[in-house]
């Protein structure tokens, strides 16, 4: 890689971020299209996010991805955010355009394309059990609501956070059936799973170094499917358990790919070399 004074710098803000495949994915895309650009990882503690966000403009960083745990907090430091990011209240992509920081949420489109490609699913009419109430969950919930899923259960350890998220989305989607469920409520969790077509893990649980969430997958029907946004390890314990039960399941590598391709196109204006990006992360 030939770094020059003219090289554009892109990166990812997150904590932890050492597991991220985004650098190798985007750098392979830059190389394939002969773009004078480089992508690096920035491990940003929550207490340092504001300083890092304020540094994007003076350092001339061209764009950044935002990952756990900064997707919601980053919105406070941007000049403008897209409709999808406004709805989700979270951003995962920032473009520095002539000194203005523009925020996007490509997780929405990335999730939709991932469940279509991996599981053959379209959200229309789906009944979904969604684990988590953070930034990634908001993107998944936005994708489901905007595409008319029929019923969504937001399941979270902190019940009040799930209730606040549900209440917020009901203001925009008044006719939707969205319900908060505490993960401490065993009966509520089992009931939600029993009627769900799809279980989505939108938490960091199961990521390398982080304990998985214990969830009674036996409550799912035999036709139900599982999608885990975590992509490292490639098969989390949740995915492994689902497959042992004979359920169709997929990890988050495909969502990483498709949201990354959309981010790449926002930054560069070029069509992302998806096959190149896919090959290198696989």
Q: Is 71 a catalytic residue?
A: yes
Report field, pTM of the whole predicted structure over 0.75: yes
Whole-number pLDDT of residue 209: 85
Average of pLDDT values for 184-204? 97
Among 31, 71, 80, 171, the one annotated catalytic: 71
Q: pLDDT for 247-264, tens place per residue?
A: 999 999 999 999 999 999
Whole-number pLDDT of residue 208: 84
Q: What is the mean pLDDT of the chain?
A: 95
- Half-sphere exposure in the Cβ direction for 79 (13 Å, CA): 11
Whole-number pLDDT of residue 19: 84
Residue 136 has pLDDT above 90, yes or no: no
Query: What are the beta bridge partners of residue 156?
Result: 182
Q: pLDDT for 22-48, tens place per residue?
A: 999 999 999 999 999 999 999 999 999
Domains in the chain, ordered, with CATH? 8-105+259-281 (3.40.50.10860), 108-251 (3.40.50.720)
């Amino acid at each position: 890689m030939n770094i020059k004074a003219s090289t554009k710098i892109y990166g990812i803000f997150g904590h932890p971020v050492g597991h991220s495949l985004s650098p190798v994915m985007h750098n392979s895309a830059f190389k394939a299209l002969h773009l004078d650009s480089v992508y690096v990882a920035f491990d940003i503690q929550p207490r340092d996010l504001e300083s890092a966000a304020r540094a994007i403009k003076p350092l001339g960083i061209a764009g950044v991805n935002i990952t756990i745990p900064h997707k919601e907090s980053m919105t406070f430091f941007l000049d403008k955010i897209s409709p999808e990011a406004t709805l989700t209240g979270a951003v995962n992509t920032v473009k520095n355009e002539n000194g203005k920081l523009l925020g996007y949420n490509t997780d929405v489109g990335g999730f939709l394309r991932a469940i279509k490609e991996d599981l053959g699913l379209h959200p229309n009419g789906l009944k979904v059990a969604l684990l988590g109430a953070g930034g990634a969950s908001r993107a998944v919930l936005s994708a489901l609501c905007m595409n008319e899923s029929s019923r969504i259960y937001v399941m979270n350890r902190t019940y009040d956070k799930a209730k606040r998220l549900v209440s917020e989305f009901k203001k925009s989607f008044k006719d939707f059936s969205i319900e908060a469920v505490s993960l401490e409520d065993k009966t509520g969790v089992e009931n939600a799973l029993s009627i769900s077509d799809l279980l989505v893990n939108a938490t960091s649980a199961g990521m390398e170094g982080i304990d998985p969430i214990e969830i009674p997958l036996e409550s799912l029907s035999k036709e139900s499917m599982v999608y885990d946004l975590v992509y490292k390890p490639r098969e989390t314990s949740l995915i492994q358990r689902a497959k042992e039960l004979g359920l169709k399941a997929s990890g988050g590598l495909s969502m990483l790919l498709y949201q990354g391709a959309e981010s790449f196109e926002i930054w560069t204006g070029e069509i992302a070399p998806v096959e190149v990006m896919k090959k290198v992360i696989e």
